[in-house]
Amino acid sequence: MSIVCGNSWGWLLDSCTHIDEGLQRCVCYKSAGLEKPTYFKNCFKREYFNILKPRVQIRQNTGIFTSSIPLHTAKNSNGDELATDLQTRKKRKRKQRDLNTGELDAHIYHGKVRSVVLEGCQALLEAGRKCGYLTEALNAPASESLPTHECQLAALCDMAKQLPLTDKSVAPVQTLRGYGLEPPLDLFSYITENPFDCAYEVTLMREKYLLPPRSRFLLSDITHMHPLVNSGDKFDLIILDPPWENKSVKRSNRYSSLPSSQLKQLPVPALAAPECLVVTWVTNRAKHLRFVKEELYPYWAVEVLAEWLWVKVTRTGEFVFPLDSQHKKPYEVLVLGRSLAVDELPEQRLLISVPSVLHSHKPSLSAVLKPYISHKPKCLELFARSLQCDWTSWGNEVIKFQHSSYFTRERAEDPAGTSQTLTQ
């Protein structure tokens, strides 16, 4: 379970625990002639979540970004909040430049949620420490320099655009067989499914990936989503993590962004079941939040019901960025709505977790959203970069974080009879 503890403020989450849940028993075959499978236990490497210090820091008594800031806002020798002093310095540097519309909207929004973030984080972190979370020894090396797998999936999706579209009369799902080596799979034209109750290690495009139990995925870009629509599935929960346009993404060239206007092309109405809960991750740019609430959701006939915040902290309980930073905030917004609003959702709930150093590696929302969806829901993640048990996932990097290089493995006991009976 990814939830460490919860209260009226929200939830404290352990992302690694959730990732590991579906990978406690993973099966693989070494060769085509090997009848008996090999079983492994896989764990996501903890080093990727070993953030010990804030990424941007403040020096005490100066207001300069150099050393860590505690959970409570630090004060200088005069008793004034450093954030206020910092804002004053920045205003002088900018020669009293007036805030533009986006900066003003962001400032107003921050003022509305600031006290919730401060008080809620304090309460949830204190509850978590009583459970023994974030209290372990922190002797592991810093994780910022860890190597990452060079993902070529997006480039392959671009190449796959030249392939002919599949016949709509053909079943859009291809399933793993559960024995020996798999035949070549068409990852770009079909939904690929692991129907078994254990994880499966497969070789795709000469790379090894771990597919969680009962997971499905479609590897494509926004122009080739027809297998998902043609499957006929209607989903009770749809989560989106769009590749929003921003300056840092353009500078780093980490992934291709998508103009906001193109998000309207997503076939969310065709994929949503009645009373579907739609959740969208939004960056801290005010125009993106305004677009989701005032244009995107109304276009899909989704009613906005609540806004939640994902607050990112270090393993010592500090914000990863100063709370009052003018550039980056330690939180991101989630907009929740329904295609048919039958009930209300709690407002301004907090999701607190140690983030991954891997870019756009979001925490799972499965556990916290469970009370607000049907008993046996069908769940879909759009723009996904990893897979989850009992979920369908889509994106042009949909299995990026399922690459075997992100996991450590231990030999597991061979369960009696399962080498012959991998039950669906």
Contacts of 413 (CB under 8 A, 6+ apart): 39
pLDDT (tens digit per residue) in 9-42: 999 999 988 899 889 889 886 654 556 778 889 9
The domains of the chain, with CATH numbers, are 153-311+322-403 (3.40.50.150)
Average pLDDT over residues 279-298: 94
pTM, whole model, 2 decimals?
A: 0.85
What does the pLDDT read at residue 105? 85
pLDDT (tens digit per residue) in 41-76: 999 998 999 888 887 654 444 344 433 434 444 444
Is residue 398 within 8 Å of 219, Cβ to Cβ?
yes
pLDDT for 305 beyond 80: yes
The pLDDT > 90 percentage for the chain reads 52
What does the pLDDT read at residue 145? 57
What does the pLDDT read at residue 422? 45
Name the pLDDT band for 190 (thresholds 50, 70, 90): very high
pLDDT for 216 beyond 60: yes
Average pLDDT over residues 170-181: 76
**CB environment 154-166: b (16+ within 10 A), e (fewer):** beebeebeeeeeb
Q: What is the DSSP letter of 292?
A: I
Average pLDDT over residues 195-200: 93
The pLDDT > 70 percentage for the chain reads 77
Q: Break the chain down into helix, strand, coil percent, rounded to 5.
A: 25, 25, 50
pLDDT (tens digit per residue) in 389-411: 999 999 999 999 999 999 998 87
